């Protein structure tokens, strides 16, 4: 791809003081409906870097021009292309105000005009003019720190992945190496794409560990080496980027909502079936975090009261019967030799009878756990991601059967259960989405170009 210099407004605010780590999650904003802008206002103040007060900051006089830019940029973040009439409808602003704001944003290089191809059969007339974000007006970095890898992507302003690389690594006991690797990947992403550093709007970090409401890791028993580690501080110090932190399952639901199978859905459960099992949930358009930020730990729901001890300290958790390491352990005991999770994947792909039986039993256990979730939350869509989805029908059929058997038909009649369309990219793309969702407030502060 050809990289070129991006037009910048004068005196860019993107070159501000050192970014401040945002410890308050912005998750609730990410799921808000375009038609209900006020839904996210209650949290927006806590989610924008201190160094960049927004137009609606309670400590700042309201700047209507900035507010208009926020609304227009928000509408164009939620929909890839809109006409001016649609912008008027979606922002609630006067037509003249939309026109003025759009002209300013085009002049600042943040919005561009596009045209919609004429529908088949339309032989005359001018194609309608649409407006969209200028993709190269800014960039986001997504970072996925799993138990066995560190992965980084760099995206443009509309979420297209421009750079993507993963390093296999044993992460749980060695945060130093993991963070060093992350910084190296970030430096390479910026260097190899040529993205201007001052146009990288932030870093989203998705991690395979519970994250509390203050953005602190709850690593005890999950990622033991990370107890007391503050990756947001570390990465901010070493990259100069504002860092947003999210649990990997919540990153998954954000990615599916923005890029994947759950677009246009407002009640979603994203279930991640990997060595860690967790759920990200969107209820009535808002990500459900719980009072401590720990909602969705479905992997530690007891499904076998007399089952194996779990790393969390409980017994018979879903993770002990339905995670790939648990299934590999079953085969290891049965066959009297060590079966790795990599070999398990190969066996599943090859249709090995024992491996598929283990997957079917796992699907049954997942269905039992999901039945509780469905009865409580009444979702319209369950998106299943993670390593185990390669098993396909061997996983999904028993899962659907047990879920249906253990739920009321009122809750399952319209429920869809689908495989993730993002595959193993969901976590890292959701981490980048954390940054991208802050784009309207961030870029609304871009000053108009010099006359
Ligand atoms: Zn557990």
d(CA 18, CA 25): 19
Given a contact cutoff of 8 angstroms between Cβ atoms, the answer to whether 434 and 253 are in contact is no
Give me ligand 1 centre to Cα 311, in Å: 6
Tell me the CATH number of domain 264-421, given options 3.10.450.50, 1.10.10.60, 3.30.420.40, 3.40.50.880: 3.30.420.40
Q: For residue 310, how far is its CA from the centre of ligand 1 (angstroms)? A: 5
CB within 8 Å of 386: residues ≥ 6 apart: 271, 272, 273, 274, 277, 420
142: CA distance to ligand 1 center in Å? 28
Distance 151 CA to ligand 1 centre (A): 26
Q: Fold match between 1-115+128-260+424-451 and 264-421?
A: yes
* Alpha carbon distance 372, 279 (integer Å): 13
Answering whether pTM is above 0.95, one says no
How far is ligand 1, taken at its centre, from the CA of residue 369, in Å?
Answer: 13
What is the distance in A from the centroid of ligand 1 to the CA of 323? Answer: 11
- Inter-CA distances, 28 with 39, 294, 446, Å: 9, 14, 24
Q: How far is the CA of 440 from the centre of ligand 1 (A)?
A: 39
**How many whole angstroms from 427 Cα to the centroid of ligand 1?**
21
- Domain definitions of the chain by residue range: 1-115+128-260+424-451, 264-421
Span from the CA of 360 to the centroid of ligand 1 (angstroms): 21
d(CA 104, CA 98): 10
312 alpha carbon – ligand 1 mean position (Å): 4
Distance 355 CA to ligand 1 centre (A): 23
Å from CA of 172 to ligand 1 middle: 16
Q: What is the pLDDT along the chain (451 residues), one digit of tens a residue?
A: 333 323 333 333 333 343 333 333 333 333 333 333 333 222 322 233 333 333 344 444 457 778 899 999 999 998 889 999 999 999 999 999 999 999 999 999 999 998 766 555 555 666 678 999 999 999 999 999 998 899 999 999 999 999 999 999 999 999 999 999 999 999 999 999 999 999 999 999 999 988 987 878 988 888 899 999 999 999 999 999 999 999 999 999 999 999 999 998 999 999 999 988 999 999 999 999 999 889 999 999 999 999 999 988 899 999 999 999 999 999 999 999 999 999 999 999 999 999 999 999 999 999 999 999 999 999 999 999 999 999 999 999 999 999 999 999 999 999 999 999 998 899 999 999 999 988 888 888 755 444 4
Ligand 1 centroid – CA 428 distance (Å): 24
C-alpha triplet 99, 105, 109: angle, nearest 5°: 140
Q: If one looks up domain 1-115+128-260+424-451 in CATH, what number appears? A: 3.30.420.40
Write the pLDDT tens digit of every residue in 372-392.
999 999 999 999 999 999 999
Ligand 1 midpoint to CA 294 (Å): 14
Pairs from 290-299 (Cβ < 8 Å, separation ≥ 24)? 291/213, 292/212, 292/213, 293/25, 293/210, 293/211, 293/212, 293/213, 293/214, 293/247, 294/210, 294/212, 294/218, 296/247, 296/249, 296/250, 297/210, 298/271, 298/369, 298/370, 298/373, 299/323
Task: Give 137 Cα–ligand 1 centroid separation in angstroms.
Answer: 44
* Per-residue pLDDT tens over the stretch 116-172: 665 555 556 666 789 999 999 999 999 999 988 999 999 999 999 999 999 999 999
The Å distance, Cα 309 to ligand 1 centre, comes to 8
How far is the centre of ligand 1, averaged over its atoms, from the C-alpha of 157 (Å)? 38
Alpha carbon dihedral 372, 378, 379, 380, in 10-degree steps, equals 130
Q: Which of 21, 88, 23, 42 is nearest to 286 (CA)?
A: 42
The strand ranges marked E within 187-288 are: 200-207, 243-247, 268-273, 277-283, 286-287
Cα 314 to ligand 1 centre (Å): 5
């Amino acid at each position: 791809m050809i990289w070129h210099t991006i037009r910048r407004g004068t005196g860019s605010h993107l070159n501000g003081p050192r970014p401040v780590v945002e410890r308050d999650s912005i998750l609730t904003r990410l799921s808000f409906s375009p038609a209900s802008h006020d839904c996210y206002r209650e949290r927006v103040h806590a989610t924008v870097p201190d160094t960049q007060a927004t137009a609606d900051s309670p400590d700042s006089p309201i700047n209507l021009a900035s507010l208009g830019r926020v609304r227009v940029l928000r509408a164009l973040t939620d929909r890839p292309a809109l006409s001016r009439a649609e912008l008027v409808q979606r922002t609630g602003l006067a037509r003249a105000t939309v026109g003025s704001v759009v002209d300013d944003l085009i002049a600042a290089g943040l919005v561009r005009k596009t045209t919609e191809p004429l529908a088949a059969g339309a032989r005359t007339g001018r194609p309608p003019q649409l407006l969209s974000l200028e993709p190269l007006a800014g960039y986001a970095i997504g970072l996925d720190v799993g138990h066995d890898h560190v992965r980084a992507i760099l995206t443009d302003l509309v979420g297209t992945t421009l750079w993507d690389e993963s390093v296999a690594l044993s992460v749980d006991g060695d945060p130093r190496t993991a963070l060093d690797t992350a910084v190296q990947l970030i430096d390479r992403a910026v260097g190899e794409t040529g993205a201007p550093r001052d146009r990288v709007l932030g870093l989203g970090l998705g991690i395979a560990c519970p994250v509390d409401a203050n953005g602190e890791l709850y690593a005890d028993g999950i990622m033991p080496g990370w107890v007391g580690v503050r990756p947001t501080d570390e990465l901010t110090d070493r990259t100069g980027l504002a860092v947003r932190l999210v649990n990997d399952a919540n990153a998954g639901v954000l990615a599916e909502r923005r890029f994947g199978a759950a677009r246009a859905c407002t009640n979603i459960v994203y279930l991640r079936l990997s060595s860690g099992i967790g759920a990200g949930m969107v209820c009535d358009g808002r990500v459900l975090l719980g009072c401590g930020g720990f909602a969705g730990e479905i992997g530690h729901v007891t499904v076998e009261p007399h089952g194996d001890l779990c790393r969390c300290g409980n017994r018979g958790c879903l993770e002990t019967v339905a995670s790939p390491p648990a299934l590999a352990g079953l085969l290891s005991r049965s066959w009297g030799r060590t079966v790795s999770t990599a070999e398990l994947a190969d066996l599943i792909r090859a249709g090995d009878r024992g491996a598929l039986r283990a997957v079917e039993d796992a699907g049954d256990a997942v269905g039992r756990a999901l039945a509780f979730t469905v009865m409580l939350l009444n979702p319209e869509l369950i998106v299943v991601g993670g390593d185990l989805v390669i098993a396909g029908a061997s996983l999904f059929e028993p899962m659907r059967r047990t879920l249906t058997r253990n739920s009321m038909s009122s809750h399952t009649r319209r429920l869809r259960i689908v495989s993730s369309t993002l595959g193993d990219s969901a976590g890292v793309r959701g981490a980048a989405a954390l940054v991208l969702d802050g784009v309207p407030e961030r870029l609304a502060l871009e000053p108009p170009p010099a006359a």
